[in-house]
Amino acid sequence: MNYGLIVIGGGPAGLKAACSAAEKGLKVLIIEREAQLGGILKQCVHDGFGVIRFGEKLTGPEYAYRDITEVKRLGIECLTGTFVTGICDKDGGFVVETTSAQGIRSDFTEKIALATGCRERTPRQVNIHGTRPAGVLAAGACQNFVNLKGLLPGKRAVILGSGDIGLIMARRLTLEGAEVIGVYEAKATPSGLQRNIRQCLDDFGIPLHLKTTVTDVYGDKRVEAVRVSAVDDSMNPVGEGEIVECDLLVVSVGLIPENELAEKLGLQTDPATKGIAVDQYMMSAGKEGVYAVGNALHVHDLVDYVSEGAATAGADAANTRKRSLVKVGAEGLMYVVPQYVDVSDANEKKTFYMRAPRDMAVASVKLYADGELVAERKLKNVKPPEMLRIQFKFRASDSITLRLEEEE
Ligand SMILES: Cc1cc2nc3c(=O)[nH]c(=O)nc-3n(C[C@H](O)[C@H](O)[C@H](O)COP(=O)(O)OP(=O)(O)OC[C@H]3O[C@@H](n4cnc5c(N)ncnc54)[C@H](O)[C@@H]3O)c2cc1C
């Protein structure tokens, strides 16, 4: 079959990109490897989704349901239970290869949106020593067991890492009757949103131990204990630490954009986000016609902004642009997305997403064009876990830089 846009991944990013493209008249196909659409939202039974987009606190499935209803209303074709195994260039477009219970299939599309979400960092990626007993789980996998399969994977849990998923699972496991001994975080400040620290730990009396990590796992068939140790400023364990008895270690040590397909296409990636480098329409800087949206582009903390970026990409898929790209310099920032801007439509308001490298009480983000300050935004209470979203108008120029500066 021939399509105007094939969207790979049926999570909130893929659903919204598909709807926006279909509204512009494109023939769209969504390909999802799981049996149902909705992505990670299917297992997020807590509320807090959609406050910005809908002005309501929805659960993950409720948020996904709204977009799935829209996909159905627009008559968008969906292949579920179908895994994308390869993409290659052909005749100015792309051939997408899939495999499913029905067999192998190839489709042609003019444009592609990569909406494949992200992966969880594993315990092996954070150097925990010991045997490989049962009972060591990534936080998302633990959430899947509890919320989708109705299984409680342990009764006495230690949580390593204070990312949002770990915090949410600390509360979830407690509500399901497990004892959560504590959350251990190697950094000096928590990685999750402030509201999750309050609602998931403080409200349930679960202690958060900063500058502390898990160094060893003990147990043969099943986890019996872990060793927790304080760390120095370079995050190296100091002293002997202490043994904490537990039968479950939940690891929540970060997410990485899922970019296997982007690698197959040889797309330029940004080492800071681990996603591909894009312009303000989320189109790959290196390859026209390929978009990346949602957590496949950069890890978001709020789904509302996932949908916002995906809507921009989907609507743009119906356009033909002659691009004139300028790289966006990022100074004093952990990263900025987009990494490039197409200055052919300068003077229009564009949205930039960025993260600060550390806490700042008062700061400002300044936009420079050809070295001249053209716009500035004051910010209060800046924290790395909370993504910054700033809209700027910029003018056509040869260089654009965003600089984050701490103020007194
Ligand atoms: C545990 C947890 C709690 C969260 N809590 C909140 C919250 O309270 N409030 C909030 O606003 N946000 C929250 N978020 C963030 C928000 O849910 C995510 O940012 C959002 O779901 C990301 O959407 P996505 O579409 O990019 O990715 P996903 O939802 O991960 O969807 C990606 C989809 O792509 C599919 N896929 C991947 N590879 C292939 C392939 N090769 N072929 C076919 N299909 C493929 C996957 O199966 C999946 O369905 C939370 C996230 C998590 C993980």
- Tell me the CA–centroid distance for residue 228 and ligand 1, in Å: 31
CATH of the domain at 170: 3.50.50.60
- From 234, 253, 272, the end of a domain falls on 253
Instruction: Find how far residue 246's CA is from the centre of its chain.
Output: 30
- Tell me the CA–centroid distance for residue 156 and ligand 1, in Å: 28
6, 29 contact by CB (below 8 A): yes
Q: Residues lining ligand 1, judged by CB closer than 6 Å?
A: 8-14, 31-34, 39-41, 44, 48-49, 83-84, 115-117, 140, 143, 164-165, 168, 258, 294-296, 300, 302-304, 306
| Among protein residues, the one whose CA lies closest to atom 8 of ligand 1 | 48
Cα–Cα distance between 117 and 12 in angstroms, integer?
9
- Tell me the CA–centroid distance for residue 118 and ligand 1, in Å: 7
The boundaries of the domain holding residue 88 are 1-119+255-321
**Same-domain status, 92 and 158:** no
**Same-domain status, 114 and 259:** yes
**Same-domain status, 247 and 259:** no
CA dihedral defined by 376, 349, 383, 277, rounded to 10 degrees? -120
**Same-domain status, 14 and 95:** yes
- Tell me the CA–centroid distance for residue 97 and ligand 1, in Å: 22
Mutating to test ligand 1, I would choose from 44, 252, 298 the residue with most ligand atoms within 8 A of its C-beta, which is 44
Burial 379-394 (b: 16+ CB within 10 A, else e): beebbbbbbbbbebeb
| Among protein residues, the one whose CA lies closest to atom 5 of ligand 1 | 44
- Judged by phi (left if over 0) then psi (alpha if -120 to 50, else beta), residue 107 lies in beta
**Same-domain status, 406 and 317:** no
Residue-level pLDDT at 126: 63
Mutating to test ligand 1, I would choose from 116, 120, 306 the residue with most ligand atoms within 8 A of its C-beta, which is 116
**Same-domain status, 197 and 271:** no
- From 294, 321, 348, the end of a domain falls on 321
252, 169 contact by CB (below 8 A): yes
Sign, Cα dihedral of 44, 47, 53, 56: positive
- Tell me the CA–centroid distance for residue 401 and ligand 1, in Å: 30
**Same-domain status, 81 and 126:** no
259, 87 contact by CB (below 8 A): no
Closest atom of ligand 1 to 294 CA is 26
Both structure tokens of 337: 């997305």
Closest atom of ligand 1 to 293 CA is 26
- Tell me the CA–centroid distance for residue 11 and ligand 1, in Å: 6
DSSP-H helix ranges across 99-201: 139-143, 164-175, 194-196
Cα–Cα distance between 53 and 157 in angstroms, integer?
35
Closest atom of ligand 1 to 60 CA is 17
Mutating to test ligand 1, I would choose from 16, 29, 40, 68 the residue with most ligand atoms within 8 A of its C-beta, which is 40
| Among protein residues, the one whose CA lies closest to atom 1 of ligand 1 | 165
**Same-domain status, 217 and 336:** no
Closest atom of ligand 1 to 297 CA is 26
Closest by CA to 351, choosing from 298, 320, 308, is: 308
**Same-domain status, 240 and 288:** no
Strand ranges across the sheet with 237-245: 129-130, 212-218, 225-231, 237-245
Residue-level pLDDT at 261: 92
Number of domains comprising the chain? 3
| Among protein residues, the one whose CA lies closest to atom 33 of ligand 1 | 9
Cα–Cα distance between 109 and 112 in angstroms, integer?
7
Low-confidence ranges of the chain (pLDDT < 50): none
**Same-domain status, 237 and 161:** yes
Residue-level pLDDT at 385: 85
Mutating to test ligand 1, I would choose from 146, 148, 303, 305 the residue with most ligand atoms within 8 A of its C-beta, which is 303
DSSP state of 122: P
- From 321, 337, 361, the end of a domain falls on 321
Residue-level pLDDT at 395: 77
Residue with structure tokens 């390869």? 86
Closest atom of ligand 1 to 12 CA is 25
Residue-level pLDDT at 129: 74
**Same-domain status, 209 and 281:** no
Q: Both ends of the chain: CA-CA distance in Å?
A: 60
Residue-level pLDDT at 125: 64
CATH of the domain at 359: 2.60.40
- Tell me the CA–centroid distance for residue 10 and ligand 1, in Å: 9
**Same-domain status, 214 and 240:** yes
Which residues, 6 or more positions from 239, have their beta carbon under 8 angstroms from its beta carbon? Answer: 229, 230
- Tell me the CA–centroid distance for residue 60 and ligand 1, in Å: 10
The letter for the amino acid at 313 is A
